[in-house]
């Protein structure tokens, strides 16, 4: 009760600290000139926005590359996680502890270590500098998260529902499609959203494995930052940020209600990685 005065002040400060950097980006993206020491741009212009939305630019192809890679990673790691999550969530087997440990290892060990080590194999099999190679590299951080989210969901899943369907004469495939998948849908949605984000935001793995030939949006953003064109970099930063924000917003809305709490802990852990 004594904090009644201090709390709103702290909250306001906190909100400002969290949002100011993003607001600043948005302002810069529509700036033409903003010279030191002005606190507000001298003039605005849509040059940067036009550049990043120009269909003929590299940005559009970067967007397509990024989205394609991230979607592939999401689908593959979602499927892989669906299978492995079942084994971890519903079965006990010798070596389960080791499997869990192995799945956590890619969370801890830096991606740069692994990609430097595997580069030689990728070059040998002509995966270096290719989109499939980048997809494979992105699967390394993505798969553990998908598996852990789905394993948590499986532990809450009652297999009696599957038994019930089997007893009623449903084939295993139809049980999967009509019983199991609908029950796991919230967790699967979360897992795929996360793995999409992990891939979408990945920089260093793409840089090393893609070798500059696979130009995703983060790579374009990095060179834009290096070029010194602040407005362009800011506009591009928004292009990179908006899809994840929309995705999280839409997913959160879709999950409100049924199973909203599904694996929230794992979800957040993965967002931290993204």
Partner 1 sequence: MSAAGPDTEQRAARRAGLRVAVLLAPALLVVVGLFGTGLGLGLLQSLGYQPYLPGWSWTTDAYTGLLDDRAVRASFVLTLRMSVLATAGSAVLALGIAMLVHSTRRGRRLLTAVLQVGLPVPHLVGALAMSLMLSQSGLLSRLAYAAGLTSSPADFPALTQDRFGWAVLAEYLWKETPFVTIVALTALARGVAPLQDVAATLGARPWQRFRHVVLPLVAPAVGAASVVVLAFTFGSYEVPAVLGRPYPAPLAVVAYQRFTDTDLAVRPQAVAIGVVLAVAVTALVAVYLRLLDRLGTAR
| CB atoms inside a 10 Å sphere around CB 133 | 27
Beta carbon of residue 30, minimum distance to partner 1 (angstroms, whole number): 14
Query: Interaction with partner 1 in 210-269: which residues (CB under 8 A)?
Result: 218, 221-222, 225, 230, 233-234, 237, 240-241, 244-245, 247-248, 264-265, 268-269
- Which one, 69 or 136, has the nearer CB to partner 1? 136
DSSP secondary structure code for residue 179 in this structure: I
Distance in angstroms (rounded) separating the CA atoms of residues 197 and 193: 6
Q: Is 120 in the site for partner 1 (CB under 8 A)?
A: yes
Task: Choose the stretch contacting partner 1; rule: CB under 8 A; options: 41-49, 53-61, 73-81, 174-182.
Answer: 73-81
Beta carbon of residue 90, minimum distance to partner 1 (angstroms, whole number): 9
Q: Is 118 in the site for partner 1 (CB under 8 A)?
A: yes
Distance in angstroms (rounded) separating the CA atoms of residues 88 and 144: 12
Burial class (CB in 10 A: 0-12, 13-18, 19+), 230: middle
Beta carbon of residue 46, minimum distance to partner 1 (angstroms, whole number): 19
Choose which of 24, 64, 75, 250 interacts with partner 1 (CB under 8 A). 24
Please give the structure tokens belonging to residue 24.
């600043």
Three-state DSSP class for 44? strand
- Which one, 84 or 165, has the nearer CB to partner 1? 84
Three-state DSSP class for 32? strand
- Which one, 175 or 207, has the nearer CB to partner 1? 207
Query: Half-sphere exposure (CA, 13 Å, Cβ side) for 171?
Result: 2
Task: Choose the stretch contacting partner 1; rule: CB under 8 A; options: 13-21, 55-63, 163-171, 182-190.
Answer: 13-21
Which of 179, 173, 141, 142 shows the shortest CA–CA distance to 160? Answer: 179
- Which one, 37 or 169, has the nearer CB to partner 1? 37
Are 255 and 190 a contacting pair, CB within 8 Å? yes
Q: Is 10 in the site for partner 1 (CB under 8 A)?
A: yes
Query: Interaction with partner 1 in 93-112: which residues (CB under 8 A)?
Result: 93, 99, 102-103, 105-112
Q: What is the dihedral of CA 178, 184, 185, 186, to 10 degrees?
A: 150
Beta carbon of residue 185, minimum distance to partner 1 (angstroms, whole number): 19
Query: Interaction with partner 1 in 42-71: which residues (CB under 8 A)?
Result: none
């Amino acid at each position: 009760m004594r904090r009644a005065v201090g709390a709103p002040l702290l909250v306001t400060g906190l909100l400002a600290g969290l949002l100011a950097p993003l607001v600043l980006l948005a302002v810069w993206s529509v700036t033409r000139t903003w010279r030191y020491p002005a606190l507000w741009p001298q003039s605005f212009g849509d040059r940067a926005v036009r550049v990043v939305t120009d269909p003929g630019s590299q940005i559009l192809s970067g967007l397509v590359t990024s989205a394609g890679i991230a979607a592939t990673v999401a689908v593959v790691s979602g499927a892989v996680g669906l299978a492995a999550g079942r084994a971890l969530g519903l079965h006990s087997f010798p070596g389960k502890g080791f499997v869990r440990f192995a799945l956590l290892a890619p969370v801890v060990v830096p991606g740069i270590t692994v990609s430097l080590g595997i580069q030689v194999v990728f070059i040998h099999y002509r995966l270096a500098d290719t989109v499939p190679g980048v997809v494979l590299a992105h699967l390394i951080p993505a798969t553990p998260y998908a598996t852990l989210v789905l394993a948590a969901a499986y532990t809450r899943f009652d297999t009696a529902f599957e038994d019930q369907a089997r007893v009623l004469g449903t084939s295993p495939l139809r049980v999967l499609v009509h019983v199991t998948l609908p029950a796991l849908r919230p967790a699967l949605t979360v897992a795929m959203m996360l793995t999409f984000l992990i891939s979408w935001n990945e920089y260093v793995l793409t840089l090393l494995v893609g070798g500059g030939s696979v130009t995703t949006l983060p790579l374009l953003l990095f060179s834009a930052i290096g070029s010194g064109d602040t407005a362009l970099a800011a506009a591009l930063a928004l292009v990179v940020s908006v899809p994840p924000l929309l995705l999280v917003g839409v997913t959160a809305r879709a999950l409100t209600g049924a199973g909203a709490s599904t694996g929230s802990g794992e979800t957040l852990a993965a967002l931290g990685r993204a």
